[in-house]
Amino acid sequence: MFIILAKASAALLLSGGLMILVRNQLAVESYLTQKRLPWLLIFWAIFRLIPFVIIYLICSFTPESDVAFYYYPIGLAAKTLKVMYRDVYCPYGPLFGYWMSIPLFFWNNSKILILHLTLIELLAVWLTYRFYEGKQTRGERLFRGLFYMMLPVPFVFTVMSGQEDVWLWLFALLALQATIRKRSDYLCGLILALGLLSTKAVFILVVIPFLLLARRPIAFIAGLATLGLPTLVFLYLKTGLLFIEQPLEEGSYLKAPNWASLLHPWTSTFINPSLSVWNYVGLLISLGVGMLIIQKVRNRDYSKYFPLFFIATFSIMTVVQKNAVANYAYLFMLPLVYRFVNFHNKQEVFWLMLFNVIAAVHPSFWWRIGQPYYETVGEIFSKPVYMLEYAMEMYLIGYLLHVSIKARKELKNKSFLPSQSLAQV
Rounded to 5 degrees, φ, ψ at 133 are: -65, 130
Tell me the mean pLDDT in the region 83-104: 97
Amino acid identity of residue 36, one-letter, is: R
255 and 396 Cβ atoms separated by less than 8 Å: no
Residue 410 confidence (pLDDT): 82
Residue 5 exposed, middle or buried by CB count within 10 Å (0-12, 13-18, 19+):
exposed
User: What is the percent of the chain with per-residue pLDDT over 90, rounded to a whole number?
Assistant: 79
**Cα–Cα distances in Å, from 18 out to 188, 280, 414?**
36, 39, 31
**Residue 268 pLDDT > 70, yes or no?**
yes
Q: What pTM was estimated for this model as a whole?
A: 0.94
Residue 250 confidence (pLDDT): 82
Residue 273 confidence (pLDDT): 82
User: What is the percent of the chain with per-residue pLDDT over 70, rounded to a whole number?
Assistant: 95
Q: Alpha-carbon distance 45 to 171, whole Å?
A: 23
Q: pLDDT tens digits for 38-76?
A: 999 999 999 999 999 999 999 999 998 899 999 999 999
Q: Alpha-carbon distance 32 to 250, whole Å?
A: 43
Least-confidence region, from 305-309, 361-365, 395-399: 305-309
Average pLDDT of the chain to the nearest whole number: 92
Amino acid identity of residue 54, one-letter, is: I
Least-confidence region, from 18-27, 101-110, 304-313, 330-339: 304-313
Which residues, 6 or more positions from 415, have their beta carbon under 8 angstroms from its beta carbon?
none
Half-sphere exposure of 299 (CA within 13 A, CB side): 0
Instruction: Determine how many CB atoms are found less than 10 A away from the CB of residue 252.
Output: 12
Q: pLDDT tens digits for 188-208?
A: 999 999 999 999 999 999 998
Residue 209 confidence (pLDDT): 82
Query: Hey, is 226 helix, strand or coil?
Result: helix
Q: Alpha-carbon distance 172 to 195, whole Å?
A: 8
Amino acid identity of residue 69, one-letter, is: F
Distance, C-alpha 386 to centroid of its chain: 27
Q: Alpha-carbon distance 200 to 288, whole Å?
A: 19
Q: pLDDT tens digits for 88-97?
A: 999 999 999 9
**Cα–Cα distances in Å, from 168 out to 198, 334, 381?**
9, 11, 38
Q: pLDDT tens digits for 149-188?
A: 999 999 999 999 999 999 999 999 999 999 888 889 999 9
Query: Hey, is 84 helix, strand or coil?
Result: strand
Query: Hey, is 165 helix, strand or coil?
Result: coil
